[in-house]
Chain A
Amino acid sequence: MMKTTGINRTNKWPYLFIAPYFLFYAVFSLFPILFTLYLSFTDWDLFGNNNFVGFYNYVQLFAHDKFFWKSLGNVLLFIACYLPALVLFGMLIASLIESRMIRRKTFFRLSFFSAYMTTPVAIGIIFALLFDWQGGFINNLFVELGWIHEKVNWLGSAAWARWIVILMIFWKNLGYFIMFYTAGMASIDTSIYEAAQIDGASARSVFFRITIPLLKPINLFLVVTSIIGGLQLVEEPMLLYSGWASGTSMTGGPDGSVFTPIWYMFDASFSGSSFKYGKGAAIAYSTFLFIALFSLIGIKWLNRDGDSK
């Protein structure tokens, strides 16, 4: 039996060919990752401080920083609201598109997916203009229709601000979910459906007992990537309150209701004049830990049947 050892004369070329990738990875990913970890143990700012402070930044974040916990709570709340809605509506609309009732399937797929192709910057600004207090389209429309007498300060209220962000993410990602579900549904062998029909299964039974179980790998992928993306949320709420559209900027929205961990990292390190790189790095690593934790919970939860069997 041939023992596989490291690099030798015959196999050195593959290693050399893949070396450029690892070279770039080491310089542009690994080094920044490790350097950021080091930074999180320092109090580096640009005003002359650059001392090793051990776990001080982490202790401050976890034990004394209500803004960090609030930002984390916000993104978890957003995920808890939009993720089930995306799964539910994504599947329903995908099954409608895939059904015999709909003819121009490509048109509908593209219509829903186009929102996903829109840049988050544009989405943030569009929603800021739509929901502006005095000059926004929504308020003007509702007043014209007589539904409200006084204009509502949508973006000035903590509760409304959260719903608007949830709506933005839902609107943007619905097409993405539909795309995956339609692809998943199209890949299910039609003979399974035919067999179910012959056995007299109702449409409801077919959907719940065939379609959903067979879409499980897609669900797993969508849920886990949504959790990761959801915890990293920043562009949409930031643009909503950047002042680009509304004039006045508002870090974190009213009462910090749409503040997110990554926004906090940006705020501590780059925005304003605190330049707290050590703290920003600690926020980045803490967020990473929570992303790993919640992704693991998501995977375990979706795989619970598989495990029990």
Chain B
Amino acid sequence: MQRSSRKKSTWSMMTALVLGSALTLSACGSNNDGNSGAASPSASSAGGSAAAESGKLVEWGWDKGSHDKLMAEFSKNHPDIQVEYVEVSAKDYLKKIQTSIASGSDLPDIIWAEAAQRGAIYELNVMDDLGAAPYSFDKSALLDFEVPLLTNGKGQLVALDQQVAPGAVAYKRELAKQYLGTDDPDQLASMFKSWDDFAQKGKEVFDKSGGKVTMFASLMDAYTILSNQMTKPFIDGVSVNKTDMLGIFGQLQKLRDMNNEAKLSMWSPSWSASYSQNNVIFYPAANWSPEFVIKPNDKNSNGAWGLTVPPGGGFTYGGTSIGIWKGSKQKEAAWTYLKGMYGSAEGADVSFNGMKSILPLKSVFEDTSKLASGPDEFFGGQDLNKFWIEKVFPSIKAKPVTKYDQDVYAASEIVLQTMAQDPKFDANSAFEKWTEELKKNHPELTIE
């Protein structure tokens, strides 16, 4: 009897150990859909202005250099708001958010969202509605084209943009002069009334150079411009935007058939190396491209580059939006930080003084004279900020973001690789393959 009870207690002890550990660990992963940790705005706003001016926020981001410069400016006005900045690569950002939600871990107070991942992060329902209390941000303060880039599927504004991210094309002045007859940005812009004009000129350039010079480095370069010039989303609800996508693939097919691209892979080492070689005239470029792409890839040139507007006009290219986690325990401080960096006149000064970046607020554009960046020798004396403000903003376009955007980009990469190498692969085949790729993990999608 005694022996049996001892045996039982040993078994019970071991079972309890196993179950206890299993439950402790599994509790980390239980019952969290991204909302369960949400603190109610009213509860968190109880602290009043003291809570708004002090706190230690956690922020995940991938550009510490810029963060530090902005933080130095911001801290002058808000010395008691501190930020624990955690570096997470842009490529892994969505995965880190995703695994944190699935495992029930805390998200940072301040969440970043890269262009292609925005839609997915917004739909995960982890970011607070900035239009609602306690934030009550008036979205009419933003430039009109910005609103769809910051809005989730429910129509809530859930983030603010770090800066405007206008897109155009960068070009090599020497090649433009040699093959297109001018290196003047305005003359180049007026030379191409349509993409068909552009493709035709590209064919002439290719023939004239004996096949050495092309307009673009890859089809993906052209896709970057064309897809960002769309004004309707790739997918509306679950309905694929067939008309626009077929139009884009048709245009890309023309560019390929008329030898407008050098068959490089965008962002590959050979693509990067092409910046310092004289074989490609145009590259898609945003306002961040000179600093992060063009100058690093063509260090030794000076005055060799220019910026002009592509056929179809300006577009938004890349950029990072930033929002507040629903579960943040320091929403007032988070809002002081977000607004003081990106959502107010104060933020406009912080951004411009810290990074020379321009916020997409209407008030900022009331007097653009102070936004000029001065002549840039690398770009043949062009004032880059003046170019973006005067030449690109009037025609800039943007489309609503969707949770499918990242997968759309991946499917397009696959399709355009095939299109680049197979001359028989036409726009219809491209669209068919593109939808097949998308439906692999999104079987709910329908074709109009």
Contacts and interface: CB of A to CB of B under 8 A. Distances in A.
B124 A46 contact: yes
B76 interface: no
A153 interface: yes
Contact of A248 (B6, B220, B272, B406): B220
Contact of B268 (A6, A135, A276): A135
Interface string B409-426: 010011001101100000
A127 B442 CA distance: 31
A272 B7 contact: no
B24 to A, nearest CB: 9
Interface centre among A16, A157, A246 (most CB of B within 10 A): A246
A31 B22 contact: yes
B270 A249 contact: no
B269 A245 contact: yes
Nearest to A152: B421
A185 B265 CA distance: 48
Given A48-B33, A156-B421, A277-B102, A26 B18 contact: yes
Contacts of A279: 441
B441 A248 contact: no
B414 A251 contact: yes
Given A46-B98, A132-B268, A246-B268, A273 B406 contact: yes
Nearest to B407: A272
A273 B120 contact: yes
A297 to B, nearest CB: 29
Nearest to B21: A27
A116 to B, nearest CB: 27
Interface string B91-112: 0001100110110000000000
Contacts of A108: none
Contacts of B421: 153, 156-157
Contacts, number: 130
A196 interface: no
What DSSP secondary structure best describes chain B's contact surface?
helix
A57 to B, nearest CB: 11
Nearest to A6: B7
B239 interface: no
B3 A7 contact: no
Interface in A200-252: 243, 245-252
B98 A250 contact: no
A250 B414 contact: yes
B119 A7 contact: no
Interface string B423-444: 0000000000000010011110
B273 interface: yes
A274 B441 contact: yes
A270 B410 CA distance: 14
A139 to B, nearest CB: 11
B203 interface: no
Given A23-B21, A46-B102, A47-B403, A249 B410 contact: yes
Interface of B: 3, 6-7, 10-11, 14, 17-18, 21-22, 25-26, 33-34, 94-95, 98-99, 101-102, 117, 119-120, 123-125, 220, 262-273, 403-407, 410, 413-414, 417-418, 420-421, 437, 440-443
22 contacts: A8-B6, A31-B26, A46-B33, A46-B102, A47-B124, A132-B265, A133-B263, A134-B262, A134-B264, A135-B269, A156-B421, A248-B265, A250-B413, A250-B414, A251-B414, A251-B437, A267-B441, A268-B441, A270-B98, A272-B406, A273-B120, A273-B404
